[in-house]
Amino acid sequence: MIQRTLVLLKPDALERGITGEIITRFERVGASIVGMKLLVSEKDTAKLHYTDDLAKRRGEKVRELMVDMITSGPIVAIALEGIEIVEVVRKMVGATEPKSAAPGTIRGDYAHVSFKYADANNIGVFNLIHASGSVEEAPIEVAVWFRPEELVSHNPTYTKFTIKK
């Protein structure tokens, strides 16, 4: 099953200069980049991304902190396409809490902030990256950050005989 998913490289990833390394990881597993842009998010867009559902699950204060964090600097929004790519990307990204993320994952290799530290400092968790959490969530999130005409379809040469759309 070919899917699309959203990845956001957050301000801390850009500040640390590791965006290229992270993007390379997705390319190495065969994910196709079908949309990518550098931007500074407006608060309204960030609130569409961090939905009311987040507020219900984690509280409005957490939502506000996440909105503040993602609007604190430039981000890279990426739409990826590939075979069961939502699950593949989630595994590559690692646990939401960086200190709990397994070595070999993006968060496990590049971050270590804990929820406890973030809470004590009244900040959102700087965990480098966002990845859509489910197959159902992915197209909704892609639509928050990309207009349809900003996404491309392509069939890389190496996949012509392995991926059937």
Q: Which residues are part of the catalytic machinery? A: 130
Rounded CA separation 142/79 (Å) = 7
Rounded CA separation 53/134 (Å) = 14
- Residue 55 token pair: 């507020």
Q: Where are the beta strands (DSSP E) in 43-164?
A: 75-83, 129-131
Rounded CA separation 113/94 (Å) = 13
Rounded CA separation 67/46 (Å) = 6
Task: List 17's β-bridge partners, or say none.
Answer: none
